Amino acid sequence: MTESPHEFAREVAHEYLDARFELANHPPGLREAVETRLAAISDEVTDRVKSQIKHLEARDLDRPNVYYAHQEAIETSLQESAAGIRTAMAIEGHIVDAVSFERSATQMLASTAAWAIRSEAARVPRPPTRHPALSWTLPPVPWLNDSTFPWPPPAVAALNAQNELTLDGLPRCSEAPYENWVQLGLIERQHTYASKHPDQPERQYVVHTGIGAVNEDRAATTPPFIGSAPSIWTHKAVELASTLQQAQVRANLSTLASPLVAFVGFESTFGAPRSDAAPGLHPFLLAPHIALSILLELAPESPSNRLMLVDDAGPALVCRQWSSFPIHDGNYEPLEPAVIGADLLIRPDLYDTASEAIGQSRLRIGFSLRVSV
């Protein structure tokens, strides 16, 4: 690295802390304090990074996501600097309530690997569970020089015109310990990398399926997913929507026209780890509609270390995640799996309860498919 210590610190802070500083409303002086601390140890950190890269050169073809020394150092600099915020404010004559201030600062600035840990606990080998119409997605996407497999697959032409799949093919899990559980939703992306010599484009598909409810008049179809924050996995649904009661939710579900599956985003989640660094976020996380969770009286298991909701009978709803078939694309970044996916499973008796509350005739499997050609 040829930049000065302060340039190095500024670049690392910009890359790894900008989003968190913004969520914390840019506490006065904090960025400068962090950069000063990191600049003071930049030579040591740079040497450690070079050592890590040297050791990893022997693993060019299967290099894992790595927690590099500069990531550790910038996090340490942030936490040490943040610990002195209240003292610095007091010196300047700004006295704040200690408990509430520390709680707020911790929420906004604390780094947490909790979501990455939950994803690791949710990781499974790639499961075959999916709607029968998607059986063609089970084999790996063929490379361009593989003439034995046509691309796009023949089934794609018919599916491109569909936005729903039949309930006759309601997918049920066949793998332990969730045998016969109903798959509420599925998202999966599979691809091959582009190449330069010869110049060839990548091949990719992304498939989404999600059970939802529609109006009887069929005026509109249901998309596979709605959007959601991740808090459904860490808080009881009744805590997130305290004005809703089970009886009211049951009545609402009888007329609900919405997907029952949510795609989770972390855009406003304090301390969420980056998806492209270790420990990182899995790209796909699914969750149930909050009304479904209230109806079935689900709650996170305690402690909340997995992507699982429970009821009095035990495990009730689970998100599984997978990443497999790592393929090297020739650059210096960590390997990206060629197949990434997640699904949402619900216990059969709870699916029957939800189906009865919603109305079996109103249930559909929303579907979307994007395929590169």
**What residue segments make up the domains of the chain, in order of their start?**
5-111, 119-371
pLDDT averaged per 10 residues, the chain (length 373): 83 86 80 92 91 69 66 86 75 73 67 77 92 90 69 84 87 94 95 70 87 76 84 85 72 85 80 61 90 92 88 95 74 67 97 93 91 78
Residue 217 identity (one-letter amino acid): D
Q: What is the pLDDT of residue 120?
A: 85
Closest to 5 measured CA to CA, from 33, 64, 54, 45:
45
What is the tens place of the pLDDT at every residue in 306-354? 899 999 999 999 999 998 876 665 555 555 668 899 999 999 999 999 9
HEC profile for the chain?
CCCCHHHHHHHHHHHHHHHHHHHCCCCCCHHHHHHHHHHHCHHHHHHHHHHHHHHHHHHCCCCCCCCCHHHHHHHHHHHHHHCCHHHHHHHCCCCCCHHHHHHHHHHHHCCCCHHHHHHHHHECCCCCCCCHHHHHHCCCCCCCCCCCCCCCCCHHHHHCCCCEECHHHCCECCCCCCCCCEEEEEEEEEEECCEECCEECCEEEEEEEEEEECCCCCCCCCCCCEEECHHHHCCCHHHHCCCCCHHHHHHHHCCCCEECEEEECCCCCCCCCCCCCCCCCCCCCEEECHHHHHHCCCEECCCCCCCEEEECCEEEEEEEEEEEEEECCCCCCCCEEEEEEEEEEECHHHHHHHHHHHCHHHEEEEEEEEECC
Tokens of 176: 């332990």
Q: What is the pLDDT of residue 262?
A: 94
C-alpha–C-alpha distance, residues 181 and 169, integer Å: 14
Closest to 201 measured CA to CA, from 250, 152, 134:
152
Strand duo 182-192 + 261-264: pairing: unpaired
- CA-based angle 323:328:332, to the nearest 5? 110
Q: Are 289 and 261 in contact (CB under 8 A)?
A: yes
Helix axes of 69-82 and 98-109: crossing angle, nearest 10 degrees: 160
Q: What is the pLDDT of residue 161?
A: 80
Whether omega for the bond prior to residue 177 falls within 30 degrees of 0, making it cis, is yes
Q: What is the pLDDT of residue 233?
A: 92
Q: What is the pLDDT of residue 334?
A: 52
